[in-house]
Amino acid sequence: MKKSLLILMAVLLLVVGVSCSKKDDTTAKAAEEVTKLIIASDCTWPPMEFINTDKKIVGYDIDFIKAVAKEGGFEVEIRNTAWDGIFASLGNGESDAVISSVTITEDRKKEMDFSLPYINAGQVLIVSIDSSYKTLADLAGKEVGAQIGTTGAIEIDNSDATLKTYDELGFAIEDLANGRIEGVVADTPIAADYVLQNDNYKSSLMIVGEPFTDEYYGIAVKKGNSEVLALINKGVKAVQDKGIDKELEDKWLR
C-alpha cells in the first residue's frame, strides 16, 4: 500500500511537471511570435539617418521605421550599414529591410521590392552662394559631385556635366565649399540639412531652383519577400493614415 502511494505521487509529480513545461513552452512561443526585423541604414545622411553626439542612430527615417514597427506590430533592430553593401545585405540575409533615403526606381524594382512610398524627395542642385549657376544644364563640362550609386549621381551622369562620385555626400559638400567642384546634386531633405541647417555651409552654399525630379523614398526588402513587405506596408499605411509621418516631417525637415 505504501509502495503504491509512492508510485501514485511520482506519477502526479510527472504529470504536473509536464504540464508546467508545456505552459512554459507556450509562454516562450508566444513571446517569440513578435516578429523582429533587422533594418539596414547608412547613417551618414542627416536629417534622414545619422549618428548624433550621443552616438545614437537618429533621424527622420529612424523615427519613421520605429513608428511603422509600432503600428505594424513588430520590432526592429537598426544596423548602421555602409551604402556600398547595403542592398547586398538583403540578399545575403544580414538584413530584412533597408531604410536609408532609398529612391524607388524602375531599375531598383527589378532587383528588390519596395514598400508603399513614404516621402517625396526630388533632386536639387547646390552651388556656391556667389555662383551664377541656376540649373544642372548650366554646369555642362563642369565637375559636379554626388554620393556614389545615388539618384543624384545618375542625374549628373545623364547630363552634360562631369560626374565626380564620393563615398559620402559630406565629402562632396566639403569639396564644393572649398571650390574643388562647381556643384552637388542631392535629395531635397539632405540638401536642406547641409545648406539650411549646417553652420559650416549656410553662409557659403545655396540651393538653386526647385527640385528637378519627382521621386519617392521606399523601404526596400528582398525580391519576393511578400511576408515582410506586407508587414511593413501595414505599418506604413497606419502611420500615414494617422498623420504621424507629417509630424515627423515637422520635426526633422522643416
Residue-wise pLDDT for 188-213, tens only, equals: 888 988 888 788 998 999 999 888 98
Question: Is the distance from CB of 105 to CB of 151 less than 8 angstroms?
Answer: yes
pLDDT the model gives residue 202: 87
CA pair distance 201, 128, nearest whole angstrom: 9
pLDDT the model gives residue 34: 65
Order of strands, sheet of 49-51, starting from the edge strand that comes earlier in the sequence: 44-45, 49-51, 57-58
CA pair distance 105, 225, nearest whole angstrom: 18
Predicted TM-score (pTM) above 0.75: no
How many Å is the Cα radius of gyration of the chain? 25
CATH of domain 36-120+216-252: 3.40.190.10
* Cβ-proximal residues to 163 (8 Å cutoff; 6+ apart), any chain: 143, 144, 145, 146, 153, 156, 157
pLDDT the model gives residue 215: 86
Instruction: Find cell 541604414 and name the residue.
Output: 41
Question: Is the distance from CB of 216 to CB of 121 less than 8 angstroms?
Answer: yes
* Cβ-proximal residues to 224 (8 Å cutoff; 6+ apart), any chain: 113
Question: Is the distance from CB of 236 to CB of 242 less than 8 angstroms?
Answer: no
pLDDT tops 90 at residue 107: yes
Please tell me the least confidently modeled range out of 21-25, 33-37, 115-119: 21-25
The pairing of beta strand 112-114 with beta strand 220-222: antiparallel
What is the mean pLDDT of the segment spanning 10-31? 42
pLDDT digits over 40-78, tens only? Answer: 999 998 889 999 999 999 999 999 999 999 999 999 999
What is the mean pLDDT of the segment spanning 212-227? 94
pLDDT the model gives residue 33: 63
Query: What residue ranges of the chain are covered by domains with CATH 3.40.190.10?
Result: 36-120+216-252, 123-208
At 144 the three-state DSSP class reads strand
What is the mean pLDDT of the segment spanning 164-182? 97
CATH 3.40.190.10 fits 123-208, yes or no: yes
